[in-house]
Amino acid sequence: MNSKEVVYVVSDSVGETAEFVVKAVASQFNGGHVDIRRSSYVEDTEDIEDVILLSKQTNSIIAYTVVIPVLKEYLDRRAKEEGIIAVDLMNPLIEAFTNKFNKLPNRQPGMMRKLDEDYFRKIEAIEFAVKYDDGRDPRGIPRADIVLIGVSRTSKTPLSMYLAHKRLKVANVPLVPEVPAPDELFEVPRNKCVGLIISPDKLNDIRKERLKALGLTSQANYASFERILEELDYAEKIMKRVGCPIINVSNKAIEETANLIMDYLKSERS
């Protein structure tokens, strides 16, 4: 395939299903180099006419997942009149379901998205956790379902990702004596924040291993006992000021800590 070859993906919903199928087919032809142009949420014949016009001007195919009968029929007719190849990716299987299982389709666009709403919530939560990881942007703090605070190496990031897979939007903020805690942290309800603490000995071991993995000396200030005590003392003061519950993660697996956080959230909401 070359860059001049175009597939117009047309849908009365998002069009993700059609695009996925097109990419799967294109991958069978010299690496799948095809220009996919999506036209989502087509609502009337004018939307279809726009695609027909564009398709006439290019070396293209139309692949569609249009379930609204009047729009499907119009697209089929206009494509035939203009000599354009238009492939219905859903109707053959819909007819097979109808004939074999003796059931009638709803013919409602977006049903897949409705079924996958839980999936999309998870993706949204994961993207949120990545965007607001490690205090990158304090604007995420008021928007989070839960805010995790603690010193470095208290599992804030893996906890955030684990909770994101449970559909919770999590922001996490590292507490460092030299860096003032963001103002937003003291403005969120205390029941939306959880402090993570750890024993000095455990943190010392973890940080030494971290430095070793980075090829650095374990004598660095980051892993010194004096520095660790200073950070933990600072973190405790911030947590008391916020008034949030505190979990000691010293000997807890990520799943165990996450379950404690989720149980706490449930108790606050009930």
Residues making up the binding site? 150-157
User: In 3-state terms, what secondary structure has residue 232?
Assistant: helix
Amino acid identity for residue 205 in this structure: D
* Residue ranges of the binding site for ADP: 150-157
Alpha-carbon distance 140 to 146, whole Å? 10
185 DSSP assignment? G
Q: In what order do the strands lie in the sheet with 5-11?
A: 35-39, 5-11, 59-65, 86-88
User: In 3-state terms, what secondary structure has residue 5?
Assistant: strand
Computed over its alpha carbons, how large is the radius of gyration of the chain? 27
* Structural contact between residues 75 and 62, judged by C-beta atoms closer than 8 angstroms: yes
Alpha-carbon distance 196 to 202, whole Å? 13
